[in-house]
Each structure stands twice: as structure tokens, then as C-alpha cells.
Amino acid sequence: MNIYGCDFSGAKNPEGKIFIASGRLTGNRFTVEEVFSCEDRLDLYYYIRTSRAPWGVDFPFSIPEYYLEQQYASSWDTFIEGAYSDTRDQFKQRFGQIHSGKSSRDLRVTDIAVDGKSPVSSTPIAMHAMVYGARRLLHNLQGDAAVYPFQPYREDVSRLYEIYPGHGWKALKLKSSAPDALQGIPFSFRTQVDSGFEISISPEAEAAAVDARGQASLHARDAVMACIQMAYCLRRYGLESSEQHKPEFASEEEWKLRMLEGLVVRMLP
């Protein structure tokens, strides 16, 4: 099975900030084969729509229940359908100046579980800009992709799963900025997550995760991590064969709110 991972960007000019990693899952072995960048979100849309494969993507699929209730009638469908009703600035003004993680009201339950940022925060990282771009991507993919856990599994289209690469790096006890981070993944995965699941990264993929200056690209590395997490979670938790059952990594509260707030798919160390 082909698996994809994506490091997304909500920037006005995303060139050089969106990376895709792809690999092949065979039994309990996964190989990351390729890493490449997208010049535009339209390119990402094309790759998702035409691949008909599972994708682990690193943007929030929804917003906290409080804001979904206040702004979008407690409906994820309404939230996605309104993707073009606001300009970037108007969308930002819906939430005001929010510092990530200051209040549980500003965090989804699943954000708290993975120690993630608030999807509606404006500082220190403009996560609302990420959501603004991601929401439009999800809007345009309607009918051409199945978004977990909001939409039922469909084999004939790509399946999108929310992934938080930072949680993957922490589970492996690695820092994405370390010079040998990619080389350390196979051993750390065996010792920290699952000794029965084998990870490998091709030399071509490793080389592609380096920028023009010869420095490690953190965006590319996060795409690799998203791809690995996606492959393992599909295999370990059977996400595409038991979507109506709570996976082991999710809490009861996360599962209860999944149709409003979504669910970050993750490995258990």
C-alpha cells in the first residue's frame, strides 16, 4: 500500500514550506521512498485527489467545540462549507488575539492529548492561518477524499487523517533538528514504539530532506514523520477496517467529540 505524509503551510506564499513524503507499506515493514516539495497548495490538492491513498497531514481538521458552537452552529459540515465566506483577516477576527494553550476553551480535547497548539491561536504561531488554508483545501476536496473521522471510509478516494509530527518525534525521543534525526528513526522506533514494525528510509528520501544550502529541512523531516506515523497507525489500529470503533490511542472524551473537533491519529510509545 502507498502511504503519504504532508507537512502543510497556511502562509499566503507557501512555496518551499509544503513537503510530501511517500512510502510503501508491506506487512510490518514500511519504507519511506520519496520526499518532495510543492510550490503551491493547488499542487497538494492535485496529489491528494489523484493518489487515492491514505494521507497523514499535519493541520487541524476542525476547531474547538466552543468556537464551532459560537461561529458554525456546532457543525463541522457548516464550518467546511463556509470556507470561502471570509477573507483571511475576517477569519482571524472571528477568534480575536489568542495565545496558544492559555485556555482549555481554545484547545480541542485532542490538542491537549498530543500537547498541540490551539487551532485558533494567533501567537506565538499563527495557527489560525494554518486552519484558514487547510479549511479551503478540505472544502475543495469534498467528494474527492474521505476525511477521518468526519466522513465514512471510501476505497475509491484518498483518505485524510490528522497527524501531529511533533508528537511522533517526542514518542521516538528524537529532536527533528538533530543532524542525525532521520538516521535515528529506525532504531528509536524499534526501542520506543514497536520492535515488530520495521522502518527504513531510502537514501533518495534522506537526500531530498536537505535544502539547497545543505541544511536539514525541518518541513521535509516533519513530512517523513507524518508518513511514518500514518503507515504505522493504519497497520497497528486498523483505521480503515474499524472506523466506527474507538482506536486504542484515543480517550473516551476525544472519541465523544470526534465529530465536532476531529481526532489526531498518533502512535502510543
Residue 14 has pLDDT above 90, yes or no: no
pLDDT at 118 over 90: yes
Mean pLDDT of 112-128: 92
Per-residue pLDDT band for 115 (boundaries 50, 70, 90) equals: very high
The pTM assigned to this predicted structure is 0.95
114 has a pLDDT exceeding 90: yes
* pLDDT for residue 242 is more than 90: no
What is the SS3 string spanning the chain? CEEEEEECCCCCCCCCCEEEEEEEEECCEEEEEEEEEECCHHHHHHHHHHHCCEEEECCCCCCCHHHHHHHHCCCHHHHHHCCCCCCHHHHHHCCCCCECCCCHHHCCHHHHHCCCCCCCCCECCCHHHHHHHHHHHHHHCECCEEECCCCCCCCCCEEEEEECHHHHHHHCCCCCCCCCHHHHHHHHHHHHCCCCCEEEECHHHHHHCECCCCCECHHHHHHHHHHHHHHHHHHHHCCCCCCCCCCCCCCHHHHHCHHHHCCEECCCC
| Pick from 21-25, 142-146, 166-170, 208-212: least confident | 208-212
What is the per-residue pLDDT across 142-197, written as a single tens digit (0 to 9) for each?
999 999 999 999 999 999 999 999 999 999 999 999 999 999 999 999 999 999 99
Please say if the pLDDT value at position 264 is more than 80.
Answer: yes
- Work out the average pLDDT over 14-43: 91
